[in-house]
Structure 1
Amino acid sequence: EKHQFETEVNQMMHLIINSVYKTKEIFLRELISNASDAINKIRFMALTQPEVMAAKPELEIRIVADAKHRRLIIRDTGVGMTKDELRRNLGTIAKSGTSDFIQKLQNNTADISQIGQFGVGFYSAFLVADRVTVASKNPTEDMQYVWQSTSVNQFQIMEDPRGNTLGRGSEITLFLKPEAAEYLQESRLRELVKKHSEFTQFPIYLWSAKSETHDEPDEAAIAEAKHKLAELDAKKAEKAAAKQKDADDDAREELEEQLKATKSVTTTSNAWDLVNQNKPIWMHNPRDLTEDQYQEFYKTFYKSSANYTHVAHFKGEGQVEFRSMLFLPDKPPAGFLTREPDANTASPIKLFVKRVFITDELLNFLPRWLTFMRGLIDSDDLPLNVSRETLQQSSALRTIKRRIISKALDMFGEVADRGPKEADQLMTHFGTALKLGALEDQASRAKLIKIIRFTSSTLKANATSPEDVTTTTLDGYVSRMRVGQKQIFYLTGVTPEEVERSPFVEVIVERGYEVLYMTDPIDDYLVNAYTEHDGYKLQHVGKDGLEFGDETDEEKKSLKQHETEYKPLAEYLSSLLSAHIGSVKISTRLTKAPLALVANAYGLTGSMERIMQAQALAGQADGMAEMYKHMKKILEINPYHPIIRKMLERAKALPPKEEGSPKKGSADRALDQIAKVLFHAAAIRSGFGIEKPAVFASQLERVVRTALD
């Protein structure tokens, strides 16, 4: 019987047959997926009609490449199709949205891999074949039927002249186009099954050539040895008759050894080879899986030689149902925070639909800070074929994304709750990423802040061995705060040595307060965004606004006295250094250093200034950065330091400066030089850079020369 394709099928087949799409390989995924669906249907039917399994109890998919006749055959033991179903399923389209898809195909704006979304994945066979034959046997009919088409206009259905060769199921034969010859290669077929259908729940067998090598007697060498031995025997008989000695014993031994000669022979035979041996372990109950099984799967699936450190295996239920496995690797991939994702970047999350691999091109599925994770998603509620553009707009996938992020946060929390050492190790490897998450992802910030740890001056001072944990969370810090303490003290810098030796922490540590040391470049950004924790302000100890909370009346009185006493020096320094500082204050944070340079409450710290400078050199600076850069600092002086006392005496002795005088500096040129050298030294000790190092070096040399004279 000959039939005409309906108009939409006709249009689509014409476009597919002449397709120039590069993703032609998806045809095998589509046909295997259809075969899997057919097997699922017969399995469901067998629940109430067990007799349908009698003809073919096996549930499987088999693939044969016939290179001689350029045929590719995909056979399944599924439900098969009746004659009427062959006509309806393979000749008409009853799914909405197909017309729009065909229109996009015509305009070259459609992703060909979407084809299965419209229930017409079968037609992807025409991407690689110019003729397709489908033999099918349904258990409700006695006859086996054949559907075939070599034209974009029509197809025909007939009784299979071979009879009932299938028992049950379908057999699709693709007569491949010359340019599709690669799909006759066993290695290519195996690669595609592994890539797209590795976790199909039914076994997929590939008709494979097997080579075996074995040893067998080397008949030629043995025949040669026998011939030569016969010659030696004849010579021996002649010599014996002539009463001569036989001198051929060594040659005889070699020939007798040659009688045992063997050769390696390689024979080739064909056999069915199971391709999808890795079963989808995410479909199992986590309680039924061992750690070794998880590790083996992780190494195989991600081609990793290292173990993962933690795994979350869970099922998402509700509006969208899915199964997922998330792995925390032993360490993050190199440069994962600096690489910009593109279409060629594989996502750390692989998407499956009904155990069929769909894509690992889920760009921006995970936020940047979480891209060190590895995992997979498998959902029955997503269409089998979705384009990258469709994925970005999928509400179902957005729901899954929120669940995945939430589960990852739970995983980090569980790791941190195991103890300080585990939490510290998590921060060592993934701390920068977690801080970036707290900075960029406001929805995740509260949970991440509970996990993030910083080095503690108190814990570091109390450590008795290198194994002792010296980091703490903000919650841990708050739990140890002194009575009356108003702020959480922290200091940012480049290295641990720099922050520990900073003049800013001197008096704070001496007074028994805890300081958090922050040496990760992202820390400055984080504390600018997260300024308060549990009702306490985060206070940079190198910024204006520092309050201890335990100041006595006597200390407050002493501060006022010092402000009055040191007013001449403060006015002198304010005038001399007016290009750099906005004010001079009596310091309550210094004990050993004479001076310190402090940023105002809204200014940049030294470490942040260096970051901004690096960005400017890279061409990434903006107007705000320039504004912050030119904000004047506060110079704090230590009233108890002998250098400051001496400078006060010299400042008091200065004659009054004439009003309106354009002359820079004071009458005491030596004092001016000392003040400038001390200012630049204070800037360096406070973590700031100096604009003109050569000028500073010259000033220092002049001071030394004066002292030597």
Structure 2
Amino acid sequence: MSNEKGTISVSTENIFPIIKKWLYSEKDIFLRELVSNSSDAISKLKKLADIGEAEIDKDKKFFIKVIVDKENKTLKIVDNGIGMTDEEVKKYINQIAFSGAKDFVERYKDKADEGQIIGHFGLGFYSAFMVSEKVQIDTLSYKKDAEPVRWISSTGTEYEMEKSDRDEVGTTITLYIAEDSVEFLEMYKVREVLNKYFSFLPYEIYLEDANEEKDKKEDKEDIGPIPLNDTSPLWLKDPKDCTDEEYKEFYRRAFFDFEEPLFWIHLNMDYPFRLKGILYFPKLKHEFDAMEGQIKLFYNQVFVADNIKEVIPEFLMLLKGTIDCPDLPLNVSRSFLQNDGYVNKISNHITKKVADKLTSIFKKEREKYNKYWDDINPFVKFGCIKEEKFYDRVKDIIVYKTINDEYVTLKDYLEKNKDKHENKVFYVSDEKQQSQYVKMFKEQGLDAVLMTTMIDNHFMQFIEMNEKDVKFQRIDSDISESMKESETDEEKKKEMKEGLEKLFRNSLENEKLKVEVEALKTSSVPGMILLSEESRRIHEMTKMFGGITLGERYQAEETLVLNSNNGLIKSLMSLKDKEDKKEDTKLICQHIYDLAMMSHKQLEPEAMTGFIERSNKILSKFASNLEG
């Protein structure tokens, strides 16, 4: 071929500033682009060979090499793929429009949000100028009698073409690394980038150090070069051919998590779109782990990004997994993906597969499902709130752990307790704090469900909106009728209420204190605090959205319920009018109130100090009485 010089045919004064701007925050993407191009070149040659349009050795081993030469400040990407003729170099390199860059300029020249671009596939080769002061291509086409071609550009706008000395079919791209990008001459940095994007590339990729001593290289040849990647990731296999140990090993390798996953879902679809992947349900070490999922999105085994919520339903971000979808339009904005019907179908399919898997475990392995529930319930609840279709599919398999260590569906719970408290679902938000109420429930054969995770407040409201007859009430918000004895003497009850209300208001110096008197079936509890569910929710919402100050201004109305069957309360009725016992009666009232409050919530520091001082005083009086 004859030597040639020229100018690249597109408005390059626009394209290169945009390349710099868009790729700067992810500078390493240039390597993803160039190695991806090498992978494509190999795929094209293999396809041509398969249909008889290219002749290659049947034992030919395809590879991609990345060679770091720190001494000469070059980085080479070498492949033995399809190669290019001089005409193809002119077409695909000199005319940037063919690589999608012209469309890229038009679409993004006025954008300012770096988050708009998901993938840069298509911009391809010209991302090399992100890190290079000069770029050289040496390529030899697979076509018979083709001549090798060399292409050089130092500016990205002007080029030279001449005959190359390459003698093997394929392409070598040599980057002469610029001063502001010398980190890409460090082996550890290049290895890090290759592992990030190409851990599962379909063709073997090797990293070499051009400056490594020759005797060290010869030592390595005893066992042969070792590729960086796994060319056949587990998600490509048929699920029926995968063992549990393979799934666990893949999980450890992909996510560096040595805690075994609970279970997994293998996605394997070829029609109406291609989608393969594995989603893992991780075991949570603590509740906050629920927010630390990682879904890796791949395009033909090349890593694109983590947690692309436009493609993957947001609630699945709580899981860990890999999804490979080669049909996705990755050179588009996030807003396009949000509104793309094809992408929505992918998202819906993944949601359905997850719901189907959970339903299958629930129906076929209920005991195992119950054991999983403590770990998976934040995920399921979040999924229901975020995705209506998901809720429709799983609403009958949502279970609730009870204070009796059983796992029941909402239907089961309501049916079991319909004669005791109709459509009310009593729940516990803190087992330790509300232990007194739990004990009373158990004594009376009543049941309550545990709602102790951060998402439960939102989830209960969600269920109430979707299941109109269901009402959640915290265990300290009301007294079930089943816990009360039927009152026979209303006049006596009224007299006790008036007398005890006055006594407690005076003792506590709180004229607004609400006091009720009930004959409870248990005699061991003198008093308890109730706060209506509605009042508690308003109080919590005010604190959440109005700030702590506004929340403190809204005082939730708590009621002190005194148990007329308790011996201490009966004694107070006889002591309340005795002037010489006034001080002792006051101590007892204050202590009953604080004990009731402690079962309801933590005491404020000042109240706790008072409680401790009073406890010491009561013990001293008790000891004095014993001595006397």
Q: Distance in 1 between matches of 2:137 and 2:613?
A: 91
Per the alignment, do residues 43 and 415 of structure 1 end up closer, same or farther by CA in structure 2, a change over 3 Å counting?
Answer: same
Q: CA deviation at 1:364?
A: 9.4
Q: Distance in 1 between matches of 2:174 and 2:37?
A: 14
> In the alignment, which of 483, 488, 492 is matched to residue 565 of structure 1?
492
Q: Distance in 2 between matches of 1:487 and 1:115?
A: 48
Q: CA deviation at 1:314?
A: 0.4
Q: Distance in 2 between matches of 1:667 and 1:18?
A: 83
Q: Which amino acid in 2 is paired with 1:512?
A: G
Match of 1:456 in 2: 403
Q: Which amino acid in 2 is paired with 1:73?
A: K
Q: Distance in 1 between matches of 2:186 and 2:443?
A: 76
How many residues of Structure 1 are paired with residues of Structure 2 in the alignment?
Answer: 609
* Superposition RMSD in Å: 4.7
Match of 1:154 in 2: 158
Q: Is the contact between residue 117 and residue 383 of structure 1 (CA under 8 Å) also seen in structure 2?
A: no
> In the alignment, which of 428, 433, 448 is matched to residue 492 of structure 1?
428
Match of 2:524 in 1: 592
Matches within 5 A, 1:540-579: 540-544=474-478, 546-548=480-482, 558-559=486-487, 561-576=488-503, 577=505, 579=511
> In the alignment, which of 260, 265, 277 is matched to residue 307 of structure 1?
260
- Is 1:165 aligned to residue 164 of structure 2? no
Q: Is the contact between residue 587 and residue 638 of structure 1 (CA under 8 Å) also seen in structure 2?
A: yes
Q: Secondary structure at the match of 2:151?
A: strand
Match of 2:198 in 1: 197
Larger radius of gyration: 1
Q: Is the contact between residue 118 and residue 330 of structure 2 (CA under 8 Å) also seen in structure 1?
A: no
- Is 1:516 aligned to residue 520 of structure 2? no
Q: Distance in 2 between matches of 1:484 and 1:185?
A: 72
Q: CA deviation at 1:350?
A: 1.3
Per the alignment, do residues 689 and 358 of structure 1 end up closer, same or farther by CA in structure 2, a change over 3 Å counting?
Answer: same
Q: CA deviation at 1:572?
A: 2.6
Match of 1:258 in 2: none
Q: CA deviation at 1:33?
A: 1.1
Match of 1:244 in 2: none
Per the alignment, do residues 113 and 36 of structure 1 end up closer, same or farther by CA in structure 2, a change over 3 Å counting?
Answer: farther
Q: CA deviation at 1:121?
A: 0.9
Matches within 5 A, 1:276-291: 276-291=229-244
Q: Is the contact between residue 59 and residue 78 of structure 1 (CA under 8 Å) also seen in structure 2?
A: yes
Q: Is the contact between residue 198 and residue 279 of structure 1 (CA under 8 Å) also seen in structure 2?
A: no
Q: Secondary structure at the match of 2:11?
A: helix
> In the alignment, which of 355, 358, 371 is matched to residue 301 of structure 2?
355
Q: Distance in 2 between matches of 1:487 and 1:519?
A: 21
Q: Distance in 2 between matches of 1:332 and 1:367?
A: 24
Which 10-residue stretch deviates more, 480-489 or 630-639? 480-489
Gaps of 5+ in 1: 214-264, 340-346, 460-469, 655-664
Q: Is the contact between residue 638 and residue 644 of structure 1 (CA under 8 Å) also seen in structure 2?
A: yes
Q: CA deviation at 1:565?
A: 1.3
Q: Distance in 2 between matches of 1:200 and 1:421?
A: 40
Q: Distance in 2 between matches of 1:208 and 1:119?
A: 29
Matches within 5 A, 1:171-250: 171-177=172-178, 180-207=181-208
Q: Distance in 1 between matches of 2:521 and 2:77?
A: 80
Q: Distance in 2 between matches of 1:82 and 1:266?
A: 33
Q: CA deviation at 1:69?
A: 4.8
Match of 1:681 in 2: 595
Q: Secondary structure at the match of 1:133?
A: strand
- Is 1:480 aligned to residue 427 of structure 2? no
Matches within 5 A, 1:63-462: 63-66=66-69, 69-94=72-97, 98-99=101-102, 101-102=104-105, 109=112, 117=120, 119-140=122-143, 142-150=145-153, 151-160=155-164, 162=165, 165-166=167-168, 168-177=169-178, 180-207=181-208, 272-315=225-268, 321-332=274-285, 335-336=288-289, 348-360=294-306, 362=308, 371-384=317-330, 400-417=346-363, 419=365, 421-431=367-377, 434=380, 444=390, 447=394, 450-457=397-404
Q: Distance in 1 between matches of 2:59 and 2:90?
A: 24
Q: Which amino acid in 2 is paired with 1:295?
A: K
Q: Distance in 2 between matches of 1:138 and 1:361?
A: 39
Q: Secondary structure at the match of 1:21?
A: helix
> In the alignment, which of 534, 545, 564 is matched to residue 602 of structure 1?
534
Match of 1:224 in 2: none
Q: Is the contact between residue 252 and residue 258 of structure 2 (CA under 8 Å) also seen in structure 1?
A: yes
Match of 1:217 in 2: none
Q: CA deviation at 1:89?
A: 0.9
Give the structure-2-normalised TM-score.
Answer: 0.78
Q: CA deviation at 1:356?
A: 0.9
Per the alignment, do residues 92 and 311 of structure 1 end up closer, same or farther by CA in structure 2, a change over 3 Å counting?
Answer: same
Match of 2:51 in 1: 48
Q: Distance in 2 between matches of 1:115 and 1:699?
A: 65
Q: Which amino acid in 2 is paired with 1:680?
A: D
Q: Distance in 2 between matches of 1:11 and 1:489?
A: 64
Q: CA deviation at 1:590?
A: 4.2
Q: Is the contact between residue 428 and residue 448 of structure 2 (CA under 8 Å) also seen in structure 1?
A: no
Per the alignment, do residues 192 and 671 of structure 1 end up closer, same or farther by CA in structure 2, a change over 3 Å counting?
Answer: closer
Gaps of 5+ in 2: none
Q: Secondary structure at the match of 2:96?
A: coil
Q: Secondary structure at the match of 1:124?
A: helix
Q: Distance in 1 between matches of 2:462 and 2:521?
A: 25
Q: Secondary structure at the match of 1:678?
A: helix
Which 10-residue stretch deviates more, 518-527 or 192-201? 518-527
Q: Distance in 1 between matches of 2:300 and 2:390?
A: 30
Q: Which amino acid in 2 is paired with 1:165?
A: D
Q: Which amino acid in 1 is paired with 2:559?
A: I
Q: Distance in 2 between matches of 1:516 and 1:172?
A: 64
Per the alignment, do residues 525 and 138 of structure 1 end up closer, same or farther by CA in structure 2, a change over 3 Å counting?
Answer: closer
Q: Distance in 2 between matches of 1:591 and 1:442?
A: 47
Q: Is the contact between residue 650 and residue 671 of structure 1 (CA under 8 Å) also seen in structure 2?
A: yes
Match of 1:623 in 2: 550
Q: Is the contact between residue 400 and residue 449 of structure 2 (CA under 8 Å) also seen in structure 1?
A: no
Q: CA deviation at 1:6?
A: 1.2
Q: CA deviation at 1:90?
A: 0.9
Q: Is the contact between residue 283 and residue 323 of structure 1 (CA under 8 Å) also seen in structure 2?
A: yes
Q: Distance in 2 between matches of 1:135 and 1:321?
A: 35
